Structure 1
Amino acid sequence: MRSSVEIYDVASGQARVVWQTEQLVEAPNFSRDGRSLIINGDGLVYRLPLDGGPPSRIDTGFAVQCNNDHGLSPDGRWLAVTDKVEFGRAAIYILPADGGTPRLVTPRQSSYWHGWSPDGARVCYCGIRDDVFDIYTISVDSGEETRLTFGEGRNDGPDWSCDGWIYFNSSRTGRMQIWRIRPDGTELTRITDSPFGDWFAHPTPDGRALLVLSYDGDVFDHPRDRHVRLRMMDADGRNDRVLFELFGGQGTMNVPNWSPDGSQFAFVRYAP
């Protein structure tokens, strides 16, 4: 498997390769200064400079089974990771962005991080409770989790917009589509009504548009190594358009991947 870490420029409609490797790497996040990407591979987390050079490992302490659900806080000081070493199931931790000792955020498992609140006080995530996938939020200081969905299909992939919406994908109407909800659980709204299986909606930094990864309509989960397409649309689902197609899926853009100014986004393309 070849992993090609790339950046797509929205204005030009062109993608450029940042780094390629014969190893599996996933889920790029932009740093807050726009100079590097955070990626994961082999259970570890790395910082990839955009001015050239190989990635360097970020010290995540005992958390050495990190998956592709990670991301930096709005102020860039903290890194959220999802790791299963401590409990044998996925749990969310935060640690200093430059590395350090992880601190547990989610006392219940399995929990998969997906986004920070605009003020950095809470995180949103997919929690699996009794084999039911739902959307939750919790304070970064831990405590009681807030449940936003209640078993209506599978609910996954939440991301927090600057204007307070939490976007997520749900199979509650059959095919996986994009929905949004307020942090208090109100104003549940369907965003996409497409023939595709829609996953991982990431709002732009200004909250005006969404980037969505879409599988063929007969694909239910989010597997790796599939023909997928990346689509952009207004925040309410209008003006939907396909940007490009690629070989990817799981690992391509599971977590927030926009540059700080919203002009670019990062993704991973795979080749067998």
Structure 2
Amino acid sequence: MADTRPTAATNALARTAVEEDTGMRPRELLSGQRTCVWIATADSPTPELAYETSDLLLEAPNWSADSTHLVLNGDGRLWRLDLAEKSPELVEVPLHGVPPINNDHVLSPDGTHVFLSGMDGHLYRAPLGGGTGTRLTGDDGLLHFLHGVSPDGDTLTYVAIPRHTAGAPGQLALMPAEGGPSRLVDTGAGHVDGPEYSPDGAWIHLNTEAFASVPGHAQLARLPAAGGPLEPMVASDTVDWFPHLSPDGRFATYVAFPPGTLGHPENVHVDVRLVATDAWERPLRTFPLLGGQGTLNVNSWAPDGRRFAFVSYPMTDH
């Protein structure tokens, strides 16, 4: 059988085509910068450094369903970091028929597949162990940024943004996990991002500018998955993004950007906050770091509901 793996030249052509169409390209480390993958717990103020490299910018860890490894993206590709090894090695997950990907990826509840956001603006599904991916979204004039899958594995929740429309706000959208027509959800004015189902499937948590008095002041909120109005979770002076609930629903993490931040930029001083879901206004732990984009874009909780992963990007003089 002929070798159908993409060659370096094929990858380069695919990346060029994607960049020309959407303007998206894989992020890279700055000179003197490194990637640090951390594991924190609800019980300790000190996170554990799980992996460090100055060769590759890694983003957005997902924790595998069997607790053995993390799944991250870097250089437009998908990577597996085995946590059982004393000196973890990064291994690429071979994907075919999938363009360069960004940091919006989630694992299926049964742990067998990964749902991916391609830098071409489409959503894909592929075997988590590697293999051929399937495009799920149609040519509907939208960019699709994946963030969640329902607990039963049937529905994806993502952010939809019109193509070639600079500055257009993101809208909440739902679609079947096997592909099919999408449904836009009315969340009022202002950009929404990071939509993710609660573990019981009853709510969708996200960040929104619907309650903002100044441009860009994203805050955390939720709405009933079956339909209904937004409910704010906490009011703060910081710009808050990407709420992620633990599998048992007891805890949540999110990224707090400095006041006045627009969007979720890279290489800024942010806090990763851990809260109890019955008291979002009182952080249990705060982890300051250099990061933002890539730090905690997707759910990174371990199945045990006690551990979670995040990424920082320190400079050598920090």
Same fold (TM over 0.5): yes
The alignment partner of 1:80 has SS state of strand
Q: Which amino acid in 1 is paired with 2:143? A: S
- In structure 2, distance between residues paired with 1:125 and 1:236: 26
Q: Which amino acid in 1 is paired with 2:227? A: G
Q: CA deviation at 1:181?
A: 1.0
Equivalent residue for 1:133, pick from 170, 187, 193? 170
1:203 aligns with 2:203: no
- In structure 2, distance between residues paired with 1:236 and 1:221: 27
Q: CA deviation at 1:142?
A: 1.6
Q: Which residue of 2 aligns with 1:16?
A: 48
- In structure 1, distance between residues paired with 2:178 and 2:199: 21
Q: Which residue of 2 aligns with 1:253?
A: 296
Q: Which residue of 2 aligns with 1:168?
A: 206
Once the two structures are overlaid, the 10-residue window that deviates more, 64-73 or 100-109, is 100-109
Write the deviation string for residues 126-184 of structure 1: whole angstroms up to 9, x where unpaired. Answer: 11136331111110122221222355100111111112211000111221001101223
Which structure carries more strand by proportion? 1
Equivalent residue for 1:178, pick from 220, 225, 233? 220
- In structure 2, distance between residues paired with 1:203 and 1:125: 17
Equivalent residue for 2:103, pick from 64, 68, 88? 68
Q: CA deviation at 1:51?
A: 2.2
- In structure 2, distance between residues paired with 1:136 and 1:234: 27
Matched pairs, number = 268
Q: CA deviation at 1:103?
A: 1.1
Higher-Rg member (1/2): 2
Question: Where in structure 1 do 4 or more consecutive aligned residues deviate above 6 Å?
Answer: none
Equivalent residue for 1:152, pick from 170, 178, 189? 189
Once the two structures are overlaid, the 10-residue window that deviates more, 123-132 or 70-79, is 123-132
Once the two structures are overlaid, the 10-residue window that deviates more, 137-146 or 235-244, is 235-244
Once the two structures are overlaid, the 10-residue window that deviates more, 99-108 or 217-226, is 99-108
Q: CA deviation at 1:92?
A: 0.8
Structure 2 regions of 5+ residues with no counterpart?
1-32
- In structure 1, distance between residues paired with 2:181 and 2:97: 24
Which structure carries more helix by proportion? 2
Q: CA RMSD in A?
A: 1.5
The alignment partner of 1:271 has SS state of coil
Structure 1 regions of 5+ residues with no counterpart?
none
CA contact (8 A) 2:187 2:230 kept: no
Q: CA deviation at 1:239?
A: 4.8
Q: CA deviation at 1:212?
A: 1.1
